[in-house]
């Protein structure tokens, strides 16, 4: 499966979308994801939780990156590396799929 980010210093090729069988619930500052088809549970830390929320309503990496960099005061390189790892984990767990073109 192709990852959304090829290198930390480049923009991602595309943002994934949540799998339709995934439900999310905020618990304090985290979001818990449950895949209804597999019963797999995945917890997102505050940064991952905010990324998940933004993924629901944003269509561009630039928009998501701008919000996250402002809210978490993180460098572009650190943010892209962290989100690349998160997207890879979400893809591996079947919680996201490629965005339709």
Average pLDDT over residues 45-69: 91
- Which pLDDT tens digit goes with each residue over 74-86? 899 999 989 989 9
pTM, 2 dp: 0.82
Residue 101: pLDDT above 80? no
Q: In what order do the strands lie in the sheet with 41-44?
A: 22-27, 30-35, 41-44
Residue 56: pLDDT above 60? yes
Which residue is it, tokens 């991602």? 12
What is the rounded CA–CA span in Å between residue 50 and residue 48? 5
């Amino acid at each position: 499966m192709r990852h959304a980010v090829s290198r930390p210093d480049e923009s991602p090729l595309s943002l994934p979308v949540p799998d339709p069988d995934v439900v999310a619930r905020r618990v304090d500052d985290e979001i818990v994801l449950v895949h209804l088809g597999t019963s797999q549970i995945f917890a997102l830390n505050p940064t991952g939780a905010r990324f998940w929320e933004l993924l629901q309503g944003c269509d561009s990496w630039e928009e998501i990156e701008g919000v996250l960099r402002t809210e978490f005061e993180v460098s572009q390189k650190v943010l892209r590396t962290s989100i690349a790892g998160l997207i890879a984990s979400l893809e591996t767990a079947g919680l996201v799929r490629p965005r339709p073109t």
